């Protein structure tokens, strides 16, 4: 196991100067490319003395007597003065231009004028762009290893340079490996049992392309030593400048990458003290980088951007891309194992004037932890973690302007929040939403602690039968002012397999021995509702098979039922419908939005309210089924 | 004339919501594109409960009795426990994975083992990735107007989404106009008198492409109303989403853009209070942006990036790109006209611990003012300028990492500096150089004021016959410590047309009536040398025709001679050679580098010295002709 910086040093040093390919391309197409040698001007620009203004061309020496009290008339018919436009060549015997605004003509419209009257002298070469003023033939236009911009392309063309020698784009070959993998196309009719869609190669190809490589993705290779070895040899024979094996790089029985690289060349690094990304293998075969990139998508991504993207850029003479950084307050305790550099995906937004960063889920297997994040926290190997309230430095995955317009939404999840997100993106100006789903109570606590703009909550108070109000009074009073607004009413009920094979009709059926239940996590509104209904029916949790089996979202509960893992779960109609499950209504509940007082009038919340009070939003919510948005935006309580 | 912000508001508002084109593309190719509607998952990921670790799959309930003092043996042969690798589907009856590291086998190598001994219980679903843990079928993957990243492409594929609807790239048609323009190809054999290579279209096409447009550049259209009108109509008929006329937008007689736009549609804005970029015309024809982009390259660029690049991005649902900004100390007084927002191209580097920004030349006609700059200062219309020493905010044209590694070189220019620049770019780690040529004295003053890392100087002290030392003592002593190192010796002499038609042999020939001279600017070392030689020969400057005619570089002097504007100029052999001029030696002079003491040991100067003391550099300098680098790097004086 090697530390990240050490691994990078070893890897980059091994390829230092190895890739120096150059090609000549049209200057017109050279923006974004890097010169492979110095570039000299072929022609001068301007190629002649040219007027820099619209006006008259004169010989400066003949104008010296002109003044306000002694205006001077220059003869246009004899050519003593000549009309000239910007960019036109200066007449051979002229050396200055007088702007047309400073000239009076004997015929004001210009046509047919014979005399031009001036009231101030011209000095030699005034308003004249001299030959070579911009570019002198033979001079150095650009040094070696210069990244050409659009303006540079303009300069190349202006200097008469038709073609320019630039660093070649490296050719990157990506080989997906894994006997369990199928292509997206093979999954058109669904995913056969035990199979997984191979999705990393498309992601890595996009990353390699963004780094400037030409990319080829080979067909999936099963986990067999000889086949992997043959694929690597083929890739090298075809002229690859980099070969990426994905995945097969962990310690399991199906992992041949290390052996293949070791047998064909040498393993430079095997295993890196980062998380995700640990099972990375970096190798060198015939002078070419051959690497085992980890299989989990986030591991694959982080490993790629730490080693392969920078190498691809270095190969072209480009500097490594550095993500912009910002300081933010960390909203949670994030313990981290010492000795491992951890990459935590975060959502960051500006709440109550300060940037707040909150972690999303950890799993390296979940690409959505990456797609939902807008920032990244690196916890160094030397640290045992970060405390809530600590100021941290985050790397931006999205532009700062986006982070500043991101609404942080923490708490219970509801499908209507996804609709709001979609509407927010289409509003003008557009807003972003970043969410983590931690249950209703988690959301209320996040509002109390100043960590979010809005929290979704649907907590039933069993004593009063009321939703949310009692909880926010208990948690917020004296600590944080906030407002509670209704978003929707929604039906909660049992989701069961189509046709309801176990004939579940009411809460009492959950106590049956032949019924397995799937629960929501403690602190979620649905869990409170279940516990309330169980109590009313006189059923103890220990009588419910599967009570301890917790999921974090309605959809996850629905999936549990659909897959047969459970016979019933409590959730919303929309989730049941989405997966084609039957639904037995249990209760209608109110789902509210809790908003800290300090944000209640902010542009972010204003944008949110414009949406939730619109008829477009209401009709789309109600089309989900089991929803009423009739009170959306109604103030329920202030605390 | 309209203010910049007002013009932007008018322009962007006119096209708000007009361009909503959408197309379906392969998800694999969607990185960098923007969704045109919400995207939902087709399949769940994982599609089954999968092992998250290599180890054994067990039923958690059967492991609860295991402990350190009561190890539990699980039967492998009966299938009570099963080997499993990361990513493999969980057996139907198992609900937990125990990592292989925590399992003892009765046959340690694994093969043929029948019993697995564990010393701790597993809890249900430990190390299992549950179905839908990452993505649940039907859930919202991405909202509308979401910029898809490489990771997002991975998520699309993992969710079984083969094709995705994204905003169309707008089609931008660029029409170069101007009767004086020729193509680069037409200039293959040189530029005919009065003609100019059309270079803006390549620059604008590159900018439009970088903003995401599909670009077509039409052939050059002469300055004729009917032809320009026809070209615009053709472009609109061909389905252009934006038409860019370049140039023909100033007030001169050749400017038909405004009329064409006004006749076909409406002119939204004509003339903007920015410099460069003032003669911009923004129009609307049949719902399409038709604009007159100014002709000077820097004007064209600034106008394009203020109006057209942002509109192209908005058309795709992308936010405007915002350049990163930094605070820097302004090194010069920069007066600016009130009422005009000025864009000054700057070079910025870190000198003595602080970022220093210095202006390059102003001319909007010189694209090299843009290509040589690494930063931009915007002086608002409300300001009359910036004072030296003032802290300013600069926009970065190059990455911050580059600015931090930029050596600022102010003073006299020598061709060997271009060589150093080229070597710096090829060194490891590579450095950048940014230079402005203000003459030897200007360089010494810049060192005194802490504005640069290095200044080139070749000032002859006529009293002592010595180079540089007297000057730096006079200017620096007690104010700034610095070191003076020799770079090269070089021959100065008269550059004359090939064959020396005026038979110029010595300094006294400059006094001849039939000889026109071209001079260097006051304060330059070459000017001091000339004045010294004139004095020695007893010639007064007034006897020299063209003495007042000043150029700023050796190459510009050479061009003056080559073009016939002057018969002779004083300069270096290399410049004469570059343009094929004859050379009559006058003197050998020493060209030194002055380096502030505080920078003398800095990494930047270390990199510089590694180059100038290398044999590779010396041989390339001497190959220029008229150079000796035998003393390169020798310390001459400390002050």
* φ, ψ (nearest 5 deg) of residue B574: -60, -35
Given CB atoms, is B132 within the 8 Å cutoff of chain A? yes
- Structure confidence by residue, pLDDT tens digits, A386-408: 999 999 999 999 999 999 999 99
Q: Which residues of B touch A143 (CB under 8 A)?
A: 418, 421-422, 424-425, 433
What does the pLDDT read at residue B248?
A: 55
CB count, 10 Å around CB of B635? 11
What does the pLDDT read at residue A110?
A: 65
Using the predicted structure, report yes or no on whether residue A411 has a pLDDT greater than 50.
yes
Those of residues 525-544 in B touching chain A at CB distance below 8 A are: none
pTM: 0.88
Residue to substitute from A136, A223, A299, interface B, most B β-carbons within 10 A: A136
Q: Which residue from B446, B420, B450, B415 is spatially nearest to B433, judged by alpha carbons?
A: B420
Q: How far apart are CA B631 and CA B564, in angstroms?
A: 37
> Which helix H or strand E contains B58, and what residues bound it?
strand B55-58
Beta bridge partner(s), residue B407: B433
* φ, ψ (nearest 5 deg) of residue B607: -60, -40
CB count, 10 Å around CB of B112? 10
The owner of tokens 């590159």 is B206
Those of residues 441-500 in A touching chain B at CB distance below 8 A are: none
Selecting from B197, B203, B425 the residue whose C-beta is nearest the C-beta of A145 gives B425
What does the pLDDT read at residue A69?
A: 93
Instruction: Give B130's pLDDT tier (boundaries 50, 70, 90).
Output: confident
Q: How far apart are CA A597 and CA A453, in angstroms?
A: 10
Selecting from A137, A156, A203 the residue whose C-beta is nearest the C-beta of B150 gives A203
The more confidently predicted of residues B137 and A532 is: A532
Selecting from A54, A367, A397 the residue whose C-beta is nearest the C-beta of B155 gives A367
Q: Could you tell me the two tokens for B219?
A: 């052939």
CB distance B88–A194 less than 8 Å? yes
What does the pLDDT read at residue A540?
A: 95
What's A337-370 look like in SS3?
Answer: CCCCEEEEEEEEEEECCEEEEEECCCCCCCCHHH
Q: Report helix, strand or coil for B390.
A: coil
Q: Could you tell me the two tokens for B535?
A: 């004095």
Q: Which residues of A touch B38 (CB under 8 A)?
A: 418, 422
What does the pLDDT read at residue B89?
A: 86
Q: Which residues of B touch A556 (CB under 8 A)?
A: 130, 132-133, 136
CB count, 10 Å around CB of A541? 14
Please provide the average confidence, as pLDDT, over all residues in chain A. 92
What does the pLDDT read at residue B549?
A: 86
Q: Could you tell me the two tokens for A544?
A: 């419910």
- Structure confidence by residue, pLDDT tens digits, B323-380: 999 999 999 999 999 999 999 999 999 998 999 999 998 888 899 999 999 999 999 9
- Structure confidence by residue, pLDDT tens digits, A28-80: 999 999 999 999 999 989 888 889 888 999 998 899 999 999 999 999 999 99
Residues 6+ apart with CB under 8 A from B621: B416, B419, B488, B627, B629, B632
Using the predicted structure, report yes or no on whether residue A420 has a pLDDT greater than 50.
yes
Query: What is the distance, to the nearest Å, from the Cα of residue A337 to the centroid of all Cα atoms in its chain?
Result: 27
Domains of chain B: 4-15+170-315 (3.40.980.10), 22-45+134-167 (3.90.105.10), 50-129 (2.170.190.11), 325-404 (2.40.340.10), 452-638 (3.40.190.10)
Those of residues 223-252 in B touching chain A at CB distance below 8 A are: 250-252
Q: Report helix, strand or coil for A30.
A: coil
- Structure confidence by residue, pLDDT tens digits, A465-505: 899 999 999 999 999 999 999 999 999 999 999 999 999 99
Contact A347, A397 (CB under 8 A): no
Selecting from B17, B47, B295 the residue whose C-beta is nearest the C-beta of A87 gives B295
Q: How far apart are CA A603 and CA A609, in angstroms?
A: 10
Using the predicted structure, report yes or no on whether residue B443 has a pLDDT greater than 50.
yes
- Structure confidence by residue, pLDDT tens digits, B229-260: 999 999 999 999 999 999 754 445 447 889 99
What does the pLDDT read at residue A249?
A: 42
The owner of tokens 């039968």 is A465
Beta bridge partner(s), residue A491: A588
Using alpha carbons, list the distances in angstroms from residue B539 to B426, B521, B531, B532.
Answer: 47, 19, 9, 10
What does the pLDDT read at residue B11?
A: 97
Residues 6+ apart with CB under 8 A from A408: A347, A348, A349, A351, A356, A358, A434, A435, A451, A452, A453, A454
Q: How far apart are CA B605 and CA A555, in angstroms?
A: 62
The owner of tokens 């995906």 is A345
Please provide the average confidence, as pLDDT, over all residues in chain B. 92
Contact B343, B275 (CB under 8 A): yes
> Which helix H or strand E contains A606, and what residues bound it?
helix A603-612
Q: What is the ipTM of this complex?
A: 0.90
Long-range contacts, stretch A538-545, CB < 8 angstroms, 24+ apart:
A539/A507, A539/A508, A539/A510, A539/A511, A543/A510, A543/A511, A544/A510, A544/A511, A544/A517, A545/A513, A545/A515, A545/A516, A545/A517
Q: Which residue from B240, B130, B363, B205 is spatially nearest to A28, judged by alpha carbons?
A: B205
Q: Which residues of A touch B89 (CB under 8 A)?
A: 193-194
* Lowest-confidence region among A33-42, A102-111, A556-565, B223-232: A102-111
From A594's Cα to the closest Cα of chain B, the distance in A is 23
Q: How far apart are CA B545 and CA B556, in angstroms?
A: 18
CB distance B136–A556 less than 8 Å? yes
What does the pLDDT read at residue B530?
A: 95
Q: How far apart are CA A424 and CA A608, in angstroms?
A: 7
Using the predicted structure, report yes or no on whether residue A137 has a pLDDT greater than 90.
no
Using the predicted structure, report yes or no on whether residue A95 has a pLDDT greater than 90.
no
Using the predicted structure, report yes or no on whether residue B620 has a pLDDT greater than 70.
yes
Q: Which residues of A touch B370 (CB under 8 A)?
A: 151, 154-155
> Which helix H or strand E contains A574, and what residues bound it?
helix A573-578
* φ, ψ (nearest 5 deg) of residue B423: -65, -40
What does the pLDDT read at residue B253?
A: 42
The owner of tokens 């009321």 is A466
Q: Could you tell me the two tokens for A535?
A: 């109590």
What does the pLDDT read at residue A533?
A: 93
Contact B96, B57 (CB under 8 A): yes
Q: How far apart are CA B5 and CA A637, in angstroms?
A: 42
Given CB atoms, is B27 within the 8 Å cutoff of chain A? yes
- Structure confidence by residue, pLDDT tens digits, B265-322: 999 999 999 999 999 999 999 999 999 999 899 999 999 999 999 999 999 988 888 8
What's A41-57 look like in SS3?
Answer: CCCCECCCCEECCCEEE
How many beta-carbon pairs under 8 angstroms link A with B?
A: 335
Q: How far apart are CA A89 and CA A566, in angstroms?
A: 86
Q: Which residue from B207, B183, B185 is spatially nearest to B197, judged by alpha carbons?
A: B183
What does the pLDDT read at residue A246?
A: 92
Q: How far apart are CA B447 and CA B455, in angstroms?
A: 7
Q: How far apart are CA A555 and CA A426, in angstroms?
A: 25
Q: Could you tell me the two tokens for A218?
A: 């080979």
CB distance A558–B187 less than 8 Å? no
Q: Which residue from B16, B17, B15, B35 is spatially nearest to B25, judged by alpha carbons?
A: B35
* Strand stretches in A482-581, DSSP E: 482-496, 517-520, 550-551, 568-572
Given CB atoms, is B558 within the 8 Å cutoff of chain A? yes
Q: Could you tell me the two tokens for B450?
A: 């802490």
- Structure confidence by residue, pLDDT tens digits, B167-219: 999 999 999 998 889 999 999 988 888 889 999 999 999 999 999 999 999 99
Contact B167, B211 (CB under 8 A): no
Residues 6+ apart with CB under 8 A from B597: B480, B481, B482, B483, B638
Those of residues 335-364 in B touching chain A at CB distance below 8 A are: 363
Q: How far apart are CA B350 and CA B335, in angstroms?
A: 24
Using the predicted structure, report yes or no on whether residue A251 has a pLDDT greater than 50.
no
Instruction: Give A248's pLDDT tier (boundaries 50, 70, 90).
Output: low
What does the pLDDT read at residue A499?
A: 96
Residues listed for chain A: 639
What does the pLDDT read at residue A252?
A: 52
Those of residues 175-214 in A touching chain B at CB distance below 8 A are: 178, 180, 184-185, 187-188, 190-191, 193-200, 202-207, 209-210
What does the pLDDT read at residue B630?
A: 95
């Amino acid at each position: 196991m090697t530390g990240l910086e050490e691994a990078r040093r070893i890897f980059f040093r091994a390829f230092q100067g190895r890739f120096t390919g150059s090609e000549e391309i049209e200057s017109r197409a050279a923006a974004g490319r890097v010169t492979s040698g110095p570039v000299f001007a072929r022609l001068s620009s301007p190629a002649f003395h040219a007027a820099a203004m619209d006006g008259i061309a004169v010989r400066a020496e003949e104008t010296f007597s002109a003044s306000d009290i002694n205006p001077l008339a220059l003869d246009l018919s004899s050519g003593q003065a000549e009309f000239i436009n910007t960019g036109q060549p200066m007449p051979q015997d002229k050396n200055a231009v007088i702007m047309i605004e400073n000239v009076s003509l004997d015929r004001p419209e210009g046509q047919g004028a014979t005399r031009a009257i001036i009231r101030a002298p011209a000095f030699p070469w005034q308003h004249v762009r001299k030959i070579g003023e911009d570019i002198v033939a033979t001079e150095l236009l650009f040094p070696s290893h210069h990244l050409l911009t659009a303006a540079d392309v303009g300069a190349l063309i202006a200097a008469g340079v038709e073609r320019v020698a630039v660093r070649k784009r490296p050719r990157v070959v990506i080989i997906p490996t894994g006997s369990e993998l199928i292509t997206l196309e093979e999954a058109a009719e669904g995913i056969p049992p035990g199979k997984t869609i191979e999705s990393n190669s498309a992601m890595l190809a996009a990353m390699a392309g963004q780094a400037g490589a030409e990319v080829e993705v080979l067909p999936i290779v099963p986990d067999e030593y000889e086949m992997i070895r043959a694929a690597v040899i083929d890739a090298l024979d075809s002229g690859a400048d980099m070969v990426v094996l994905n995945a097969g790089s962990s310690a399991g029985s199906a992992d041949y990458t290390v052996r293949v690289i070791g047998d064909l060349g040498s393993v430079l690094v095997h295993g890196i003290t980062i998380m995700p990304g640990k099972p990375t293998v970096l190798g060198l075969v015939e002078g070419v980088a051959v690497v085992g990139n980890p299989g989990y998508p986030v591991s694959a991504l982080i490993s790629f951007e730490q080693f392969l993207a920078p190498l691809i850029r270095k190969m072209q003479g480009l500097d490594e891309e550095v993500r912009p950084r910002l300081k933010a307050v960390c909203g949670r305790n994030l313990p981290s194992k010492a000795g491992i550099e951890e990459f935590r995906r975060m959502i960051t937004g500006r709440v109550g004037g300060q940037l707040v960063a909150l972690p999303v889920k950890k799993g390296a297997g979940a690409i959505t932890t990456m797609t939902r994040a807008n920032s990244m926290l690196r916890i160094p190997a030397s640290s045992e973690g970060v405390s809530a309230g600590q100021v941290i430095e985050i790397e931006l995955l999205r532009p700062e302007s986006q982070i500043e317009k991101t609404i942080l939404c923490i708490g219970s999840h509801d499908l209507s929040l996804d609709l709001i997100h979609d509407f927010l993106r289409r509003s003008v100006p557009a807003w972003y939403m970043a969410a983590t789903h931690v249950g209703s109570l988690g959301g209320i606590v996040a509002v109390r602690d100043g960590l979010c703009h809005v929290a979704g909550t649907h907590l039933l108070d069993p004593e009063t039968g009321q939703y949310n109000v009692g909880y926010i009074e208990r948690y917020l009073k004296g600590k944080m002012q906030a407002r509670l607004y209704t978003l929707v009413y929604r039906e909660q009920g049992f989701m069961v397999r189509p046709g309801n094979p176990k004939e579940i009709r009411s809460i009492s059926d959950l106590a049956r021995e032949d019924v397995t239940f799937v629960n929501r996590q403690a602190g979620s509104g649905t869990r409170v509702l279940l516990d309330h209904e169980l109590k009313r029916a006189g059923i103890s949790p220990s009588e419910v098979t599967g009570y301890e089996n917790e999921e974090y979202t309605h959809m996850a509960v629905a999936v549990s039922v659909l897959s047969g893992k459970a016979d019933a779960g409590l959730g919303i109609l929309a989730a049941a419908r989405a997966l084609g499950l039957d639904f037995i209504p249990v209760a209608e509940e109110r789902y509210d939005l809790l908003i800290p007082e300090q944000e209640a009038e902010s542009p972010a919340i204003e944008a949110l309210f414009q949406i939730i009070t619109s008829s477009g939003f209401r009709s789309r919510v109600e089309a989900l089924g089991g929803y009423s948005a009739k009170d959306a935006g109604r103030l329920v309580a202030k605390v």
